[in-house]
């Protein structure tokens, strides 16, 4: 498990490009038959990737957590951005398809990941946060029929925003949030940009009560996103490529413009779970 410490905005404005990338970019999350985890001191979030190919991969706590098992004091959200896979949770097997997700509550002991096809492996992206109580473990599907242990994303939690004229026509699909999938503090979802649109989260904002992590994907090898961060009057950028993630502190904006359209998963942890609790930044204020 890789450890990242918190950074002050007073220091960050002096960082070089290399230092920005070292502190905030996660350049690779998916390794064959391995678990990659990054533990950030910013709200104690853990960001990770699991790509089982030939093996069934177990999720262990590791020395860093000082616990018997990974979710002894934590909760976790998972979204599969690869081929069809399976998540085994305390002896129960869940089939998790492309862009389907899961919420796993505090107290779940045994977690393992597998792929249906080694030639098209699942890629399980995860966010984990400290928790104080346990909520039910559920499978989350953007579409389909509800059944026991399965939550279908509500139509009210699929929001179409922006326009092609503003280059930000996008659909937000909220996976984990109050009223749909309950959690202690973790909120997760996915935003997809339509062809011809390249801007996300613009006009930009900050939210002092929550930090955020973005995973960018659905991009060809030669595409990229310019991810903008920093205080509104001290902006910086990081070049992000397919299946790379960026850690965004609560004091930082988190916008992006791509060389083409793309998809990203956002995960938030912190003081509250109010999706609309943000401090807007007018375009004229950015520097």
pLDDT tens per residue across span 6-35:
999 999 999 999 999 999 999 999 999 999
Residue keyed to tokens 């499978």: 139
**Cα gap 53→206, rounded to integer Å:** 38
> Can you give the pLDDT at residue 129?
98
Band of residue 54 on the pLDDT scale cut at 50, 70, 90: very high
> Can you give the pLDDT at residue 247?
98
> Can you give the pLDDT at residue 146?
79
Residue 182: count of CB within 10 angstroms of its CB: 16
Asked if pLDDT for residue 279 goes beyond 90, the answer is no
Band of residue 213 on the pLDDT scale cut at 50, 70, 90: very high
Query: pTM (2 decimals)?
Result: 0.96
Asked if pLDDT for residue 242 goes beyond 90, the answer is yes
| Residue 203 phi, psi (nearest 5) | -60, 150
> Can you give the pLDDT at residue 245?
98
Q: Which residue has the higher pLDDT, 278 or 117?
A: 117
| Average pLDDT over every residue of 53-73 | 96
Asked if pLDDT for residue 275 goes beyond 90, the answer is no
Find residue 161's DSSP bridge partners.
170
> Can you give the pLDDT at residue 98?
98
**Cα gap 87→93, rounded to integer Å:** 6
**Cα gap 160→192, rounded to integer Å:** 10
**How far is CA 129 from each of CA 75, 107, 146, rounded to the nearest angstrom?**
6, 13, 27
Please report, rounded to a whole number, the percentage of residues in the chain having pLDDT higher than 90: 93
**Cα gap 119→129, rounded to integer Å:** 32
Whether the CB-CB separation of 88 and 110 falls below 8 Å is answered with: yes
> Can you give the pLDDT at residue 147?
83
**Cα gap 201→206, rounded to integer Å:** 10
Whether the CB-CB separation of 266 and 195 falls below 8 Å is answered with: no
Asked if pLDDT for residue 160 goes beyond 90, the answer is yes
| Average pLDDT over every residue of 240-267 | 97
On average, the pLDDT of the chain sits at 96
Asked if pLDDT for residue 148 goes beyond 90, the answer is no
> Can you give the pLDDT at residue 202?
87
Band of residue 255 on the pLDDT scale cut at 50, 70, 90: very high
Residue keyed to tokens 């081929």: 83
Question: Nearest Cα to 87, choosing from 115, 127, 60?
Answer: 115
User: How far apart, in Å, do the first and last CA atoms of the chain sit?
Assistant: 36
Question: Nearest Cα to 45, choosing from 112, 133, 126, 132?
Answer: 126
| Residue 188 phi, psi (nearest 5) | -140, 155
**Cα gap 254→256, rounded to integer Å:** 7
Residue 97: count of CB within 10 angstroms of its CB: 17
3-state secondary structure 124-155: EEEEEEECCCCCCCEEEECCCCCCCCEEECCH
Question: Nearest Cα to 224, choosing from 232, 212, 216?
Answer: 216
pLDDT tens digits for 98-123? 999 999 999 999 999 999 999 999 99
């Amino acid at each position: 498990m890789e450890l990242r410490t918190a950074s002050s905005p007073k220091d960050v404005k002096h960082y070089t490009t290399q230092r920005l990338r070292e502190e905030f970019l996660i350049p690779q999350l998916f390794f064959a038959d391995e678990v990659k985890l990054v533990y950030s001191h910013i709200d104690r979030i853990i960001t990770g990737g699991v790509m089982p190919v030939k093996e069934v991969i177990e999720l262990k706590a590791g020395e860093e957590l000082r616990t018997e098992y990974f979710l002894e004091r934590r909760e976790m959200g998972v979204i599969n951005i690869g081929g069809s896979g399976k998540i085994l949770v305390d002896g129960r097997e869940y089939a998790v398809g492309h862009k389907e997700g899961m919420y796993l509550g505090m107290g779940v002991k045994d977690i393992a990941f597998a792929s249906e096809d080694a030639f098209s492996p699942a890629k399980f992206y995860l966010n984990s946060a400290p928790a104080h109580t346990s909520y039910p473990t559920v499978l989350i599907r953007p579409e389909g029929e509800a059944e026991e242990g399965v939550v279908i994303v509500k139509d009210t939690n699929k929001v179409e925003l922006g326009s092609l004229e503003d280059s930000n026509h996008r659909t937000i699909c909220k996976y984990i949030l109050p009223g749909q999938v309950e959690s202690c503090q973790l909120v997760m979802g996915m935003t997809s940009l339509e062809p011809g649109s390249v801007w996300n989260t613009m006009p930009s904002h900050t939210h002092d009560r929550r930090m955020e992590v973005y995973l960018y994907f659905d991009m060809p090898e030669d595409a990229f996103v310019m991810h903008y961060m920093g205080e509104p009057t001290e902006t910086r950028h990081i070049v992000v490529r397919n299946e790379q993630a960026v850690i965004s502190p609560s004091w930082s904006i988190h916008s992006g413009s791509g060389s083409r359209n793309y998809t990203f998963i956002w995960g938030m942890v912190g003081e509250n779970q109010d999706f609309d609790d943000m401090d807007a930044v007018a375009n004229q204020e950015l520097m």
